[in-house]
Amino acid sequence: MSLLEPIFEALNRAGVRYLVAGGLATVLHGFARLTADIDLIVDLDPVEARRTIDALVSLGMRPRPPVDPFDFADEATRRSWIRDKGLRVFSLYDPANPLREVDLFVEHPIDFAVLWSRSEVLALTTTQVRVVSIADLITLKRLAGRPQDLRDIEALEAIAAARLERDGQR
């Protein structure tokens, strides 16, 4: 996690409203598997989205597509990326360390306020991260529907059931 923690530290310092989703969220909830990037659902309010990009660019991260990274903060631009290019995530990478990559959802698959209210704050070694709940992660993975997502759903459902049993709610 030490490779990724500086990203979360920068986002936290900047006051970015983000939620970890995808493979890393699956790992943070307790299912050990490989994942190559950080999937983030961020507040897409223009000021908030700009804050996200500021924090990531300050770490030296650059967008994969040849665009100005700050275009991400513009709702009309994101809509055109979705409509014209079928874009689902805006990818940034660290040229100094290609293992550090962040994918930002260009639209909210579930209302951000709802995701935020049900999210969990989890401790890493040097910082904390806000992660989508297991139930919401399962929903997101059902929406994606790829083979890896279906395997993750099975593991997440087992983790959720074990938590319920452990907490005496079953």
Task: Show the domains of the chain with their CATH numbers.
Answer: 5-135 (3.30.460.40)
| Cβ neighbours of residue 168 closer than 8 Å, sequence gap 6 or more | none
Residue ranges in the chain modelled with pLDDT below 50: 1
Burial of 159 (0-12, 13-18, 19+ CB in 10 A): middle
Task: Give the predicted TM-score (pTM) of the model.
Answer: 0.91
Q: What is the pLDDT of residues 98-142, one digit of tens each?
A: 889 999 999 999 999 999 999 999 999 999 999 999 999 999 999
